Chains A and B, each alone.
Chain A
Amino acid sequence: MGLLELKSIKKTYFLGSSVWGKRKIVEAVKNVSLTLEEGVCLGLVGESGSGKSTLGKILLGLEKPDQGEVWFQGRNLYNLKAKELKELRRNLQVVFQDCYSAVNPRLTVGEIIAEPLRNYERLTSAQEKKKVQEFLEIVGLCLEDIHKYPHHFSGGQLQRINIARAIALKPKLIILDEAVSALDVLVQVQILNLLAQLKEEFQLSYLFISHDLQAVNYIADRLAVMYKGEVVERLDDMEQLERLEHPVSKKLLSSVLPPYPSGERLGIINNMTKISL
């Protein structure tokens, strides 16, 4: 049994008001089953609106599935007492794309990183300070940063702070939802390298959600492709990326732009066959 098991997860949203008869049903996730083993980074890709974030929220307990089960460390996440859930949640952390709204602007960096420690561990203030410093160093920030506030940092630095907070309790699994998508490519690579290194060091597992196939390919060990609420293809060996078979995966793969201007620049754009919608 894996670290995380999803069994036939289903989540439907209802939009609009039923009074006006404009109610619309969105089947964000339909019947998804997935397994994530310890020490593995699973990349989850798919076009926008395919249900990736919804799935992530269900794993975190932020959204309740209509159907299906989430098993984490051998326990059913939606069948636990509050206290047990809290204990389990310390092993399950998250980093979102929007790094600014993820932190409380009135707390210093030291307080932000200490927050999960305070929730779970009883440390003296000296112990706490030592730990916070340790994590700041791990993510490549300096000790003076401990007294600064979020607005003193760039997006990339703040994302490192979010990562420091996520690893502070040495969790088992971190869900990274578009965690590097808005950053410049230099910072992206720095953070991806950092994540890869932390994964080795602390035997972490990641669910790396992104629409960016290049970033996923760089960090993930395995891949799942989502389309309209379903996992349509899986890959256990990233070296086989070019061999993806499902039309949706192939389309995603062939749409990745070469990161340099080539002779037939715009060719890829001009010659693109009309994509059916």
Chain B
Amino acid sequence: MEQQPILTVNKLNIDVSTPHGVTQVVRDVSFKIEAGKVFGFVGESGSGKTMTCMSLLNLLPGEAKVVKGSIKFRNKDILNCSAKDMRKARGSEIAMIMQNPMTAFNPVRTIGRHFIETLKTHLPITKQQARTMAIAYLEKADLPNPENLLKQYPFQLSGGMLQRVMIAITMSLNPSILIADEPTTALDATNQLQILQQLNWLRKEYDTGILLVSHDLGVIAQLADEVAVMYGGYIVEKAPVFKLFNRPMHPYTRVLLESRLGLTRRKIKSVQRVSVSSPNLINKENTCPFFERCEDADHTCVNDNLELKECEKDHLVRCVKSG
């Protein structure tokens, strides 16, 4: 039986206006997030992953704008939601954690004050109840010594601890969707593992749907159920995680997977084939963004109606040579 998705993004297009013209940073992006599932986003730096995340919370920076497409959360139309409704939904329905947890905290407030105030904003409870709840959630997140933790200031915790506290706060509001944008990028491997464990537990125990953005293919490989690969604002490939890693079809996905380092010291030479120039994000409706850098490019690629096509069941690719 098909599960009803919690969040549905359909043909999303985001433009950014710069003094030098309009840049199309997100183009024709569609995906769904289901309860208890992890949808992974990987891709080129600057390919529009963070912009996509921000649009889901209606939090795009001033110069960016959704110009086409829709975002539906259950039956709510996020893009046409009142500011008040959106404020209510943020945190309690759709929550977000970011790369640098320090920026999410006010440095002069204790962890306890953050936690309790967040709870009280969203729930009709007393301060004492909020405190009890905070301790319970810190315990659930396996954080040591919760009572003491509440008294500490953000700077007194390591980046890893702070990120785990952030997730505990997020969990306490029981959101249906969690957007995690590079949640472990600033952390070492040990802390990373703890965060992933926590996220995995969150989706299992609370059925939270997670959008996981990471440039670390190991992170995506371990946690994501389905993966989208982004390049130049487009999703160029989308597939269940095993299919994507075992049979990558898009030329960009292939060279990206070839760049995985692992713990060998073998020099990776294939990457030299790909030129350094970045994709042209200005104009060029519907042509292939990878054209200038693609090994397989030829005249057939100058197709101005390139679409994400299903090559085999659930495996979508945006390349004229596939399907």
Contact residues of A with B, CB < 8 Å?
A: 15-16, 24, 45-49, 140-142, 151-157, 160, 181-190, 193, 196, 211-215, 217-218, 238-239, 241, 251-253, 255-262, 265-266, 268-270, 272, 274-275, 277
The 6 A-B residue pairs with the shortest CB-CB distance, nearest first, are A257-B218, A255-B189, A211-B188, A259-B260, A214-B261, A154-B46
**A157, B221: Cβ atoms closer than 8 Å:** no
Q: Mark B175-192, 1 if CB is under 8 A from A, else 0.
A: 000000010011111111
Bound: A211/B190 CA distance, A: 10
- Chain A residues near B259 (CB-CB < 8 A): 185-186, 188-189
Q: Closest CB of chain B to A156's CB: distance in Å? A: 6
**A269, B196: Cβ atoms closer than 8 Å:** yes
**B190, A251: Cβ atoms closer than 8 Å:** yes
- The reply to whether the CB of B223 lies closer than 8 angstroms to some CB of chain A is yes
15 contacts between A and B (CB under 8 A): A47-B158, A48-B160, A151-B18, A156-B278, A184-B43, A185-B217, A185-B260, A186-B44, A186-B259, A218-B265, A239-B265, A255-B188, A259-B221, A261-B242, A272-B193
- The reply to whether the CB of B276 lies closer than 8 angstroms to some CB of chain A is yes
Q: Closest CB of chain B to A119's CB: distance in Å? A: 27
* B residues 1-54 in Cβ contact with A at 8 Å: 18, 20, 42-46
* Residue in B45, B153, B277 whose beta carbon sits within 8 Å of that of A184 in the complex: B45
- The reply to whether the CB of B263 lies closer than 8 angstroms to some CB of chain A is yes
Contact residues of B with A, CB < 8 Å?
A: 18, 20, 42-46, 142, 144, 153, 155-156, 158-161, 182, 185-194, 196-197, 200, 215-219, 221-223, 241-242, 245, 255-256, 259-263, 265, 267-268, 271-272, 274-278
Q: Closest CB of chain A to B232's CB: distance in Å? A: 10
Q: Closest CB of chain A to B204's CB: distance in Å? A: 10
Nearest B residue to A257 via CB reads B218
- Chain B residues near A47 (CB-CB < 8 A): 158, 160, 188, 190-191
**B142, A214: Cβ atoms closer than 8 Å:** no
Nearest B residue to A142 via CB reads B277
Bound: A262/B161 CA distance, A: 28
The CB with the most chain B CB atoms within 10 A, among A140, A154, A239, is that of A154
**A257, B193: Cβ atoms closer than 8 Å:** yes
**New A-B contacts (7) at CB < 8 Å, excluding given A156-B276, A184-B44, A217-B261:** A15-B156, A140-B276, A184-B256, A186-B44, A268-B222, A269-B197, A269-B222
- Chain A residues near B271 (CB-CB < 8 A): 186, 189-190, 193
- Chain A residues near B43 (CB-CB < 8 A): 184
Q: Closest CB of chain A to B52's CB: distance in Å? A: 15
* Residue in B153, B161, B241, B274 whose beta carbon sits within 8 Å of that of A261 in the complex: B241
Q: Closest CB of chain B to A189's CB: distance in Å? A: 4
Contact A255:B276 (CB < 8 A) given known A193-B268, A277-B144: no
Q: Closest CB of chain B to A260's CB: distance in Å? A: 5
**A258, B189: Cβ atoms closer than 8 Å:** no
**B200, A266: Cβ atoms closer than 8 Å:** yes
- Chain B residues near A152 (CB-CB < 8 A): 20
Bound: A217/B267 CA distance, A: 11
Bound: A29/B215 CA distance, A: 30
**A15, B155: Cβ atoms closer than 8 Å:** yes
- Chain B residues near A214 (CB-CB < 8 A): 261-263
The CB with the most chain A CB atoms within 10 A, among B142, B190, B192, B193, is that of B190
Bound: A162/B272 CA distance, A: 20
- Chain B residues near A15 (CB-CB < 8 A): 155-156
* Residue in B45, B188, B268 whose beta carbon sits within 8 Å of that of A189 in the complex: B268
* Residue in B196, B218, B278 whose beta carbon sits within 8 Å of that of A157 in the complex: B278
- Chain A residues near B245 (CB-CB < 8 A): 260-261
Q: Closest CB of chain B to A155's CB: distance in Å? A: 4
- Chain A residues near B278 (CB-CB < 8 A): 153-154, 156-157
Contact A266:B223 (CB < 8 A) given known A47-B188, A48-B191, A141-B276: yes
Q: Closest CB of chain A to B191's CB: distance in Å? A: 6
- Chain A residues near B260 (CB-CB < 8 A): 185, 259-260
**B197, A272: Cβ atoms closer than 8 Å:** yes
**A184, B193: Cβ atoms closer than 8 Å:** no
Bound: A15/B159 CA distance, A: 16
Bound: A259/B244 CA distance, A: 12
Nearest B residue to A218 via CB reads B261
